[in-house]
Amino acid sequence: MFRGQRGPMKHYDAELHTRGESLYVDDVPEPSGMLHAVIYSSPIAHGRFDALQLDRALAADGVVDIITADDIPGENQVGPVVEDEPLLSEGELNFQGHPIAIVVAETHEDATHARGLIDAAFTEKEAVVTAREAHDRGDILGTPRTFAMGDVDDAFDDCDVVVEGRADCAGQEHLYLETQRARAVPTEGDRLRVYSSTQSPYAVQESAARVIGVAEHKVEVDVIRLGGAFGGKEDQATHWACMSALASELLDAPVQLVLHRVDDMKMTGKRHPYSADYKMGLDDDGNIVAYEVRHYQNAGAKTDLSLAVLERTLFHSTNAYYIPNVRAYAASCQTNIPPNTAFRGFGGPQGMFAIESALTDAAEELGISREEIQRNNLLDEGQSFPYGQRAERCRAQKTWDRADEAFDLDEMRANAEAFNEDHDDKKKGVAAMPVCFGISFTGTFLNQASALLHVYTDGSVSLSTGGVEMGQGVNSKLINIAARALGISTDRIKVETTNTTRIANMSPSAASATTDLNGGATILAAEELIGRFREMVAREMGIQDDENIEFDDEQVLYRGKETDWDWERVVEQAYLSRISLSAQAFYATPNIWFDKDDEEGRPFAYHVYGAAFFEVTVDTLRGTYDIEAARLAHDLGRTVNKLVDIGQIEGGLAQGIGWMTLEELAYGDDGELLSSALSTYKTPDGYFMPDELDVEWIEDENPEGPYGSKAVGEPPLMYGIGAYFAIRDAMRAFDADADFPFHAPLTPEKVLLQLHQSRLDDMLEAPVPDEESPESEVALAGE
The residues, any chain, with a CB within 8 Å of residue 711's CB and separated by 6 or more, are 439, 512, 513, 515, 516, 608, 705
- Complex with ligand MOS: residue 440 or 522, whichever CB lies closer: 440
| C-beta neighbour count of 621 within 10 angstroms | 12
Select the span of 109-117, 341-349, 393-401, 516-524 touching ligand MOS (CB under 6 A): 341-349
User: Rounded CA gap, 727 and 358, in Å?
Assistant: 16
Phi, psi of 206 (to 5 degrees): -60, -50
Select the span of 205-213, 342-350, 534-542, 600-608 touching ligand MOS (CB under 6 A): 342-350
The residues, any chain, with a CB within 8 Å of residue 767's CB and separated by 6 or more, are none
- When asked if residue 441 is in the footprint of ligand LUZ (CB under 6 A), the reply is yes
User: Rounded CA gap, 746 and 167, in Å?
Assistant: 12
Query: Please, are residues 120 and 49 in contact by the beta-carbon 8 Å criterion?
Result: yes
Min CB(456)–ligand MOS separation in Å:
34
- Complex with ligand MOS: residue 344 or 454, whichever CB lies closer: 344
- Complex with ligand MOS: residue 312 or 484, whichever CB lies closer: 312
- 714 flagged as catalytic: yes
Binding flags for ligand MOS, 497-536, as an x/- string (CB under 6 A): -------------xx-------------------------
Instruction: Using alpha carbons, select from 94, 241, 109 the residue that is nearest to residue 181.
Output: 241
Burial of 92 per CB tally in 10 Å (0-12, 13-18, 19+): middle
Side-chain-side CA neighbours of 624 within 13 Å: the count stands at: 3
Min CB(200)–ligand MOS separation in Å:
9
DSSP one-letter code for 689: S
Binder of residue 343, out of ligand LUZ, ligand MOS, none (CB less than 5 to 8 A by kind) = ligand MOS
User: Rounded CA gap, 640 and 634, in Å?
Assistant: 15
User: Rounded CA gap, 760 and 739, in Å?
Assistant: 14
Min CB(605)–ligand MOS separation in Å:
15
Binding flags for ligand LUZ, 325-354, as an x/- string (CB under 6 A): -----------------x---x--------
Identity of residue 308:
A
Binding flags for ligand MOS, 209-248, as an x/- string (CB under 6 A): ----------------------x--x--------------
- Complex with ligand MOS: residue 269 or 434, whichever CB lies closer: 269
User: Rounded CA gap, 560 and 731, in Å?
Assistant: 63
Binding flags for ligand LUZ, 493-522, as an x/- string (CB under 6 A): -----------------xx-----------
Query: Which of the following is catalytic: 550, 599, 714, 777?
Result: 714
Min CB(349)–ligand LUZ separation in Å:
11
| C-beta neighbour count of 262 within 10 angstroms | 13
- Tally of residues, the chain: 783
Select the span of 117-125, 305-313, 534-542, 573-581 touching ligand LUZ (CB under 6 A): 305-313
Instruction: Using alpha carbons, select from 676, 654, 778 the residue that is nearest to residue 723.
Output: 654
User: Rounded CA gap, 306 and 324, in Å?
Assistant: 28
Identity of residue 307:
L
- Complex with ligand LUZ: residue 511 or 517, whichever CB lies closer: 511
Binder of residue 442, out of ligand LUZ, ligand MOS, none (CB less than 5 to 8 A by kind) = ligand LUZ
User: Rounded CA gap, 561 and 555, in Å?
Assistant: 10
Binder of residue 467, out of ligand LUZ, ligand MOS, none (CB less than 5 to 8 A by kind) = none
- When asked if residue 246 is in the footprint of ligand LUZ (CB under 6 A), the reply is no
Interacting residues with ligand LUZ (CB under 6 A): 231, 234, 305, 308, 312, 342, 346, 441-443, 446, 510-511
Catalytic residue numbers read 714
Interacting residues with ligand MOS (CB under 6 A): 199, 231, 234, 342-344, 346, 510-511, 714
